């Protein structure tokens, strides 16, 4: 363990080179004891790499291990047998992972990443939360970056139905943004928070892009919600494509800048996604998912939902125990307003609902 930490924190060798050396020589300790000339024959080392590798001191690594023990932080290295294969098989797997909570056997689980805007609309927030909750109900697990906006909504939605995984772009003991400290603590009660940065270490903006490669690698697919042209979530989508994962995208208005990145992904072949079933259906030959029950509105009697309705249509029909505005239905059912309008039009044509006023609907 200490030799892995030495490679990363003292020698500061890039993960791809460090993992290659460990694989070739058999252990991180063997890398520590090897001559620079031997290492240079295995990977191409820059002068900066060589300058780091000659620093044969372990005090920093030992200090990090002691700090982790005191803070209840688990350490998982590239050489550990329970290190996720999904990470190990990528081009640049994290050399060391620091973990709060309990990381499940991710190689056996259908993990889906949910990422997107840090300044989402109310509809996008509701959609992210609802999708995360539905995917978790189905037996999948949601992974996100615990960032502001969509990531936060995804974590909150997943926790309503079970547990979740958050991957930090900051030190393991420093959730960002700070106001998510409570959510951080809630996640580690049933799931896990992970980072490749040890307690107390200073991180930089580039660390968030590095974080995105871990989110993508752990997942079997990623859902992108409201990504602008320069959104960091596009990096996660690119990593997913490189790793052979599916990319799912909720559509947005083509005239809105905050959806330009999302719509470009759709033009490039990403899956058009408006419900959890749109995602789950792509994996039903591999995983046995639980049936997602439509969310019943609170404090209402059970209603008889007509057969043949989609889960979203059933939620809307159930919510119409009395007449409601379209925007109210969007908030209650956690479906984007544009999608609610489209579904209501279809349900009018089916003779299930009718308008009693401007954008006010009731069961027929």
Q: What span, in angstroms and rounded, lies between the C-alpha atoms of 343 and 316?
A: 9
| Contacting residues for 276 by C-beta, under 8 A, at least 6 apart | 131, 134, 135, 138, 292, 311
The answer to whether 168 touches 193, Cβ cutoff 8 Å, is yes
Q: 311-363: which CATH topology?
A: Arc Repressor Mutant, subunit A (1.10.10)
| Contacting residues for 68 by C-beta, under 8 A, at least 6 apart | 74, 75, 98, 198, 199
- DSSP strand E in 251-310: where? 271-272
Q: What span, in angstroms and rounded, lies between the C-alpha atoms of 146 and 271?
A: 24
- pLDDT for the residue numbered 301: 41
| Tokens matching residue 352 | 């299930």
User: What is the pLDDT of the chain when averaged over all its residues?
Assistant: 90
- DSSP strand E in 231-316: where? 246-250, 271-272
Right CATH for 106-280 from 3.40.50.880, 3.30.360.10, 3.40.50.450, 3.40.190.10: 3.40.50.450
| Tokens matching residue 13 | 């060798």
Topology agreement, domain 106-280 and domain 311-363: no
- pLDDT for the residue numbered 338: 86
Residue-wise pLDDT for 169-188, tens only, equals: 999 999 998 889 999 999 99
Domain boundaries along the sequence of the chain: 2-101, 106-280, 311-363
Report residues of the chain scoring pLDDT below 70: 293-305, 307-308
Nearest to 131 by CA among 217, 222, 229, 219: 222
Q: What span, in angstroms and rounded, lies between the C-alpha atoms of 232 and 261?
A: 10
Q: In what order do the strands lie in the sheet with 360-363?
A: 324-325, 360-363, 353-357
| Tokens matching residue 305 | 């939902």
- pLDDT for the residue numbered 297: 39
- pLDDT for the residue numbered 303: 56
């Amino acid at each position: 363990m200490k030799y892995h930490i030495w490679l990363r924190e003292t020698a500061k060798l890039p993960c791809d080179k460090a993992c290659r050396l460990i694989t070739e020589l058999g252990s991180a300790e063997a890398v520590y004891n090897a001559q620079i000339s031997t290492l240079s024959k295995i990977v191409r080392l820059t002068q900066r790499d060589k300058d780091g590798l000659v620093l044969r001191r372990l005090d920093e690594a030992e200090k990090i291990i002691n700090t982790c023990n005191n803070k209840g932080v688990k350490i998982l290295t590239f050489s550990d047998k329970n290190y996720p294969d999904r990470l190990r098989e990528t081009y640049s797997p994290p050399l060391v992972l620091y973990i709060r909570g309990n990381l499940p056997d991710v190689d056996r689980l259908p993990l889906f990443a949910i990422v997107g805007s840090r300044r989402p609309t109310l509809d996008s927030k509701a959609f992210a939360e609802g999708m995360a909750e539905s995917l978790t109900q189905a037996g999948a697990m949601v992974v996100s970056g615990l960032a502001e906006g969509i990531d936060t909504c995804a974590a909150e939605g997943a926790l309503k139905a079970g547990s979740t995984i958050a991957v930090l772009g900051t030190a393991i003991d420093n959730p960002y943004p700070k106001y998510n400290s409570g959510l951080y603590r809630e996640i580690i009660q049933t799931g896990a928070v992970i980072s490749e940065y040890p307690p107390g270490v200073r991180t930089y903006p580039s660390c968030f892009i590095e974080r995105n490669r871990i989110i993508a690698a752990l997942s079997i697919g990623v859902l992108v919600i409201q990504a602008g042209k320069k959104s960091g979530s596009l990096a996660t989508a690119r990593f997913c494509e490189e790793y052979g994962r599916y990319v799912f995208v909720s559509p947005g208005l083509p005239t809105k800048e905050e959806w330009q990145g999302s719509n470009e992904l759709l033009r490039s072949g990403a899956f058009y996604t408006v419900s959890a079933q749109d995602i789950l259906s792509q994996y039903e030959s591999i995983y046995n998912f639980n049936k997602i029950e439509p969310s019943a509105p609170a404090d209402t009697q059970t209603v008889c939902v007509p057969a043949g309705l989609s889960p979203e249509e059933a939620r809307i029909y159930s919510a119409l125990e009395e007449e409601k505005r379209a925007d109210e239905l969007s908030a209650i059912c956690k479906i984007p307003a544009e999608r609610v309008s489209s579904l209501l039009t279809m349900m009018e044509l089916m003779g299930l609902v009718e308008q009693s006023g401007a954008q006010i609907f009731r069961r027929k």
